[in-house]
Amino acid sequence: MQSPNLRKAARAVERWFARHQRPLPWRETYDPYRVWVSEVMLQQTRMEVVLPYFERFLSRFPSLVALAGATDDEVMAAWSGLGYYRRAKMLRAGAAFVVSHLGAIPRDVPTLLTIPGIGRYTAGAIASIAFDAKAPIVDGNVARVLSRVFALDGDAWPHATALVEEAKSPRDLNQGLMELGALICKPRNPACLLCPLRESCIALNTGRIDAFPPPKPKKETRALRIPLYLVRDRRGRVLMHRSSGALMDAMYHLPHGDASLLDGAQLAATPGALLGTFRHTVTTRRIEFVLYEASIQRKARGFEWIDIEKLHEVPHPSYVRKALRFIS
């Protein structure tokens, strides 16, 4: 089958996006700072999870200058529960770099790539969405759409580059491709009859939708069972420690019994009543946490008493809130 006409395909996506785009908060003004924050939050995180975090984060850090002037702890606390916490640190570092070295968020990809934490995709997203520049983007959704439309076995970036060169509005084209991947061209059971690219899609018109994109090798997962200890003082505060491990670094954690996952100070605790169990996922780790009430003779170094009502003021992973529901 002949390759799709790039200009025709670009126009079809732009028209579809103009009619069917979701009303998202960063689309109200396309302010570069809001676009940047949204793109970082959306990396490896579902839209419905991001939206409430985005609003709270922008309320706490309403401008680039406000974010640049914040501490890592303040930013991590506002990010707590969103996962992939290195993103938050790099976002703050990037904001500080822009304020001190550039003065404003740049409009072009080469300059955007000089900012800490900004890679090829994020640079293209900021340039095209905030400034309507002809910059390609390829995330998981876009890669799936292009893989099917062009029947690609490999890299989708050359096709994304060629397509955006034909765009009337790179902003609408790139967002349209992402929306198509999220709403129409889904990994399973895509709604091909509703797709504006159905006439051009090689995979659809050759009966090979399920063959694209080619499956990736699955990462090995680890099943872990980790005891957690809930230690409270007379004021109801909870004993926590700050991790220095590879995962969830610099976050406040409940005392636990598996240093292979969460590094930190050791605590001589006496387990008491079983409060419950719950499941949690961290990258390729599938964890079953077993929560016990516990008591200690004395507080060890590296541990702090944290007021549950002020938990939002310290950076902590979402599993902590899951555990505290057992005593709410």
**Angstrom distance (rounded) from CA 180 to CA 55:** 24
Task: State both tokens at 29.
Answer: 């003004």
**Distance (Å) of CA 194 to CA 86, 312, 319:** 38, 43, 39
- Answer for the pair 275, 326: CB distance below 8 angstroms, yes or no: yes
**Angstrom distance (rounded) from CA 2 to CA 202:** 8
| Token pair 């974010």: residue | 67
Catalytic residue among 14, 28, 39, 166: 39
Q: Select from 166, 178, 169, 177 the least CA-distant residue to 133.
A: 169
Counting every residue written for the chain, the total comes to 328
**Angstrom distance (rounded) from CA 300 to CA 26:** 45
Q: 163 Cβ partners below 8 Å, 6+ apart?
A: 6, 9, 10, 136, 146, 173
**Angstrom distance (rounded) from CA 53 to CA 149:** 34
Q: 8 Cβ partners below 8 Å, 6+ apart?
A: 200
Helix (H, G, I), strand (E, B) or coil at 307: coil
For residue 257, the 8-state DSSP code is: S
Q: Is residue 39 flagged as an active site residue?
A: yes
> What is the Rg, in whole angstroms, of the alpha carbon atoms belonging to the chain?
23
**Distance (Å) of CA 291 to CA 254, 259, 300:** 10, 16, 20
- Answer for the pair 324, 254: CB distance below 8 angstroms, yes or no: no
**Angstrom distance (rounded) from CA 187 to CA 120:** 24
Enumerate the active-site residues: 39
